[in-house]
Structure 1
């Protein structure tokens, strides 16, 4: 099974302000980028299920020239609110690592 972890040279998450998260996925080759894009494994519906965010609020943008993918969505828990265990949003990418790509 091939996962995003296998296809990317970098997967990261960070805050885009106190209410939003952004994810950057940079693929290690044009072939890996094309495979991930073709797979439809990173749709707003899939991400909504993983992160418990309404799919209508998730933006997925493929950047052909950069062989990269950008995802933006509301933070499930606002930055520094009670229950926020990741103030900078830097650990939110982890559930993406094991997404199967076929």
Structure 2
């Protein structure tokens, strides 16, 4: 099976403020963008991160060949239970996802 990392040129995650995380999938070409957008459902991404699908935001940005997901952080950034202060640990999880 094909994974996101097999097609994307880069997958990164980062903070989008103390309450949100953002995951960017850089596809590199319109063909790669089409494969990612068709093979990666928002519901599956929400399930991967144990997030409510209604709170997960998805942006397919064709001009940049990017798919972006934003979701609430499970813990507020910098709180005692926050284990990923910069939000960088989320990218490998989505990079390893298999496409439909």
Verify same fold: TM over 0.5. Answer: yes
Please list every run of 5 or more consecutive structure 1 residues that lacks an aligned counterpart in the other structure.
none
- Count of aligned pairs between the two proteins: 100
Q: CA RMSD in A?
A: 1.2
Bigger strand share: 1
Please list every run of 5 or more consecutive structure 2 residues that lacks an aligned counterpart in the other structure.
none
* SS of alignment partner, residue 91 of structure 1: helix
4+ long deviations beyond 4 Å: none
Contact 1:52 1:76 in 2 (8 A): no
TM-score by length of 2: 0.91
- Could you tell me which of 65, 72, 75 is aligned with 1:74? 72
CA distance in 2, matches of 1:73, 1:62: 15
- CA deviation vs aligned residue, 1:24-65 (integer Å, no higher than 9, x gap): 1100322111111122x231x212211121110000010111
